[in-house]
Amino acid sequence: MSAPPIQTSPAPATVPARQTGLLDRLDRFWQRVTEGLELGQLWKQFHADARASYRLYQKDFEKQSPATTQKSGLWQTFQGLAWAILEKLTPARRLLLLFGVVLLLLPGGGYSHRDEMGHVEFVQFDLRFFGGAMLFVLLMLEISDRVIMKRDLEIARDIQKWLLPANPPAIPGLSLAFAARPANTVAGDFYDAFPRPAPGAEPHFLLAIADVAGKSIPAALLMATFQASLKTLAATGCSLDELVAGMNRYATTNSQGGLRFTTAFLAEFDPSSHRLTYINAGHNPPILRRASGAIEHLTSGGLPLGINADAGYQAGSLILQSSDWLAIFTDGLVEAVNAQGQEYGEERLLNVLYSAASSMPDALLRRIMSDLDVFVGATPQHDDVTCIVVKVS
């Protein structure tokens, strides 16, 4: 008898080396374009960008005359949004966009003619190609503007980082941490903590947080002037009342008639007595959580800076005790909204303060920001977020 045939499994298919190299190049190209983001992350990013762009154009549309905005017809709404988009472009680019769209909508065509030999020649053309070319040129012009603006904004962001402290100072009797998230590349929020001279005593420490009305470049420029005036006046050794009054007079000269005002909270801490003297200039009241669990809001002060040059400010004063917590923040934290339009609110912030009272400031601050991220989800950030947490030793 002959031996049964030996069963062999088929050899695994091999991918040609040339095809493997092509796949590797495509994968590297995809990773470079997407910066390693997953498809779900890319969709969320596109969704956020689309919503932000729509709100921008819708805001301009709503600024039109009431007779235009009150019309509820689809054509009127489309026409208003179209004009809002066109007005963002220069006149030359508006014409380029209009001609490009019109040519895209026109059908192709052709014509025939007879040459000298009597042969008929047909010439066909497609205007949509020229329309697409015009839109491509417009896209390249807009991208070049965006690249230049982005480069300038990145430089401004780096300068702003130099103006703000990277690490909190060592303050006897206190430990603190701070975090800031700009809504755009640059922010209108300000925070700082630094020593200042005190007559006949060891240096006191100034805690400051401020929020300039508006966002992006205009607010960032005013934030820089706020920081310069604060450092200049703080070095003179004047009282906190005099410091805030001087900053208010200076802010009024740069506020465009009160339109560019600044809310601020300024506090001076005396390490020898643990006394905190503060002025709240129209800012969100900081939350003081006592070791006993009692809650106090620091509200003494007056108007935001830059509204009235002669405004008066009433200073508040209290003694900080061991294991007290102080949370100082801008409205971007408590007014952050989720997809349902709900605000994060002070109650959620208090819950984190209560649940992590035994933590160190940096750990508590991370927990606050993480809780904020979970709450807002993929909703775009609409305002700068800044927070300082202070724990009394």
214 compared with 76, residue with greater pLDDT? 214
Residue 345 belongs to a domain = yes
How far apart are the C-alpha atoms of 195 and 234, rounded to whole Å? 9
Percent of the chain scoring above 70 in pLDDT? 81
State pLDDT tens for residues 81-104. Answer: 677 777 788 888 888 888 888 888
Ranked by mean pLDDT, the top range of 6-15, 51-60, 380-389 is: 380-389
Mapped onto helix, strand or coil, the DSSP state of residue 109 is: strand
Q: Is residue 303 assigned to a domain?
A: yes
Q: Hey, which of 152-156, 161-165, 247-251 has the most confident mean pLDDT?
A: 247-251
Quote the mean pLDDT of the chain. Answer: 83
- Calculate mean pLDDT across residues 214-221: 80
DSSP 175-222: EEEEEEE-SSSS-SEEEEEEEE--TTSSPEEEEEEEEESS-HHHHHHH
Residue 385 lies in domain: 167-392
CATH code (residue 287): 3.60.40.10
- Provide mean pLDDT across the span 176-192: 89
**For residue 110, what is the DSSP state?**
E
Please report, rounded to a whole number, the percentage of residues in the chain having pLDDT higher than 90. Answer: 39
**Can you give the pLDDT at residue 192?**
94
How many domains would you assign to the chain? 1
Determine the average pLDDT of the residues in 9-23: 64
pLDDT at 258 over 70: no
Q: Which residue has the tokens 């070049």?
A: 144
pLDDT at position 242: 93
Q: Report yes or no: 392 and 321 within 8 Å, Cβ to Cβ.
A: yes
- The string of pLDDT tens digits covering residues 263-316 is 999 999 999 999 999 999 999 999 999 999 999 999 999 999 999 989 999 999
pLDDT of residue 378: 80
Residues in Cβ contact with 179 at an 8 Å cutoff, skipping those fewer than 6 apart: 365, 369, 385, 386, 387
Residue 312 DSSP label: -
pTM of the model: 0.71
Residue with tokens 């030793």: 393
Q: How far apart are CA 308 and CA 340, in angstroms?
A: 38
Between 317 and 163, residue with greater pLDDT? 317
Question: Does 172 or 156 have the greater pLDDT score?
Answer: 172
Say if residue 67's pLDDT is above 60. Answer: no
Locate tokens 């800044």: which residue?
A: 386
pLDDT digits (tens, 9 = 90+) for 357-392: 888 999 999 999 999 999 998 888 888 999 999 999
Nearest to 231 by CA among 177, 190, 270, 273: 190
More confidently predicted of 233 and 109:
233
227 phi, psi to nearest 5 deg: -65, -40
DSSP string, 323-351: T-EEEEE-HHHHT-B-TTS-B-HHHHHHH
Residue 358 is given by DSSP the state: T
Q: What is the model's pLDDT at position 381?
A: 83
Residue 93 has what pLDDT? 87
**Minimal CA–CA distance to 354: which of 335, 327, 330?**
327
3-state secondary structure of 72: coil
Kindly state the helix (H) or strand (E) to which residue 166 belongs, with its residue range: none
Helices marked H in the chain — which ranges?
Answer: 17-34, 39-62, 66-69, 74-86, 91-105, 127-163, 216-234, 240-252, 331-334, 345-355, 361-376
The count of C-alpha atoms lying within 13 angstroms of the C-alpha of 9, restricted to the half-sphere facing its C-beta, is: 3
Give the pLDDT score at 1: 47
The answer to whether position 104 is within a domain reads: no
DSSP state at residue 172: T
Residue 295 located in a structural domain: yes
Tell me whether residue 37 is in a domain.
no
Count the neighbouring beta carbons within 10 Å of the beta carbon of residue 321: 11
Of 114 and 155, the one with more pLDDT: 155
Note whether 325 and 288 are within 8 A (CB). Answer: yes
Task: Find, among 109, 153, 104, 164, the residue nearest to 131 by Cα.
Answer: 104
What was the pLDDT predicted at 332?
93
In a domain, 73, yes or no: no
Q: Residue 357: what are its φ and ψ, rounded to 5°?
A: -65, -25
Beta bridge partners of 388: 178, 328
Q: Does the residue 261 lie in any domain? A: yes
380 within some domain? yes
